[in-house]
Amino acid sequence: MIPPSGQQFELRCGEQHATIVEVGGGVRAYRVGDRDVLQPYPVDAMCDGAHGAPLIPWPNRLADGRYRFDETDYQVALTEPDKHNAIHGLLRWRSWRPVHQSEDRIVMAARLHPLEGYPFLLDVEIQYLLDTAGLTVTTTATNAGDRPCPYGCGQHPYLAPSSGLIDDCTVRLAAETRIVTDPARELPTGVEAVEGTPFDFRAGRRIGDLQVDYAFTDLVRDHEGRAWVILTAPDGDSVELWVDRSYPIVELYTADTLAVHRRRRGLGTEPMTCPPNAFQSGRGVARLKPGESKVTAWGVRLAP
């Protein structure tokens, strides 16, 4: 029987094990020994809540599925119809193919052919690599067409607590600013400094019953240019996710809208190259010329 997420591609390096899937080209599971680093979804289930999925050619929400690019108006399908939005791009449910695979590395590829609302030709490759630094994910998108195209990307892993819910975990994200959204459609309405708010995670704070589904920016970076999200479980285990400079935004999501048995069992931690509704606002959207590529990278590990 073919799993809902298609063919399963297994990677191993020492005690590390990751499963990459055909449908959506995402990571279904990543663990070290018996300890989940990313919250998995079952092999016999469809991907829920975009678990582990690449978000291409835009992450997050696009109001009314409409945008304007190079003086032309476009309309894509509404994939979040209850909020009248298009969400998380166009490649989540498409088949990806492996173009290279070894024991600890795989490169998954997809070609996004021109379609109504996005009449551009985009080639995408995502490399998943396991080594002593953990799981590193590198995305390369190339405009394979003959005219410029708009592009943004993200990915949607969920950091896993050691067991149970995320409520008793502590999260640390050194971000100065939260992108504020309206509660009805979750579209941006402005920004605010996190200082003095419940969303100040700079020094680390217990999640408790706080509900979060917001993008954070003005990230503080280390000497390598990486920004970090650290989820520490009550037993002291920490899962650490980093983003390189190509990702100026990280969304945190406490998974309150998933099916009851799946809620708050992982912390959605989404690297994003541009903010919600970017195709409409133009903020952070890359304009790829024919033949031009954009490379982005993030990674995750169980803290040593």
pLDDT band at 93 (very low <50, low <70, confident <90, very high): very high
In a domain, 296, yes or no: yes
What is the average per-residue pLDDT within 122-150?
A: 98
pLDDT band at 256 (very low <50, low <70, confident <90, very high): very high
**Which pLDDT value is given to residue 103?**
98
Spatial separation of the C-alpha atoms in residues 212 and 279, rounded to whole Å:
23
**Which pLDDT value is given to residue 1?**
87
Six-digit token string for 110: 């997809």
DSSP for residue 117: T
Spatial separation of the C-alpha atoms in residues 54 and 52, rounded to whole Å:
7
In a domain, 181, yes or no: yes
In a domain, 1, yes or no: no
Residue 35 has pLDDT above 90, yes or no: yes
What is the average per-residue pLDDT within 265-270?
A: 98
In a domain, 65, yes or no: yes
For the chain, what percent of residues have pLDDT higher than 70?
100
User: In this structure, what are the phi and psi dihedrals at residue 167, rounded to the nearest 5 degrees?
Assistant: -55, -40
Query: How many domains, in total, are found in the chain?
Result: 1
Spatial separation of the C-alpha atoms in residues 283 and 294, rounded to whole Å:
16
User: In this structure, what are the phi and psi dihedrals at residue 83, rounded to the nearest 5 degrees?
Assistant: -105, 5
Q: How many other β-carbons are positioned within 10 Å of the β-carbon of residue 219?
A: 20
Spatial separation of the C-alpha atoms in residues 247 and 232, rounded to whole Å:
23
Give the domain range for residue 118. Answer: 8-302
Return the CATH number at 154.
Answer: 2.70.98.10
What mean pLDDT value characterizes the chain? 97
Indicate the SS3 state at residue 145. coil
Q: What share of the chain is helix, strand, coil (3-state, %, to 5)?
A: 5, 50, 50
**Which pLDDT value is given to residue 106?**
98
Spatial separation of the C-alpha atoms in residues 197 and 195, rounded to whole Å:
6
Indicate the SS3 state at residue 93. coil
pLDDT tens digits along 201-211: 999 999 999 99
pLDDT band at 76 (very low <50, low <70, confident <90, very high): very high
**Which pLDDT value is given to residue 9?**
98
In a domain, 2, yes or no: no
pLDDT band at 54 (very low <50, low <70, confident <90, very high): very high
Distances (CA, A) of 200 to 62, 170, 205, 247: 26, 12, 8, 20
In a domain, 117, yes or no: yes
In a domain, 123, yes or no: yes
Indicate the SS3 state at residue 33. coil
pLDDT tens digits along 5-19: 999 999 999 999 999
For the chain, what percent of residues have pLDDT higher than 90?
99
What is the average per-residue pLDDT within 56-76?
A: 98
**Which pLDDT value is given to residue 304?**
85
Find, among 284, 94, 263, the residue nearest to 179 by Cα. 284
Residue 294 has pLDDT above 90, yes or no: yes
What is the average per-residue pLDDT within 146-161?
A: 98
In a domain, 187, yes or no: yes
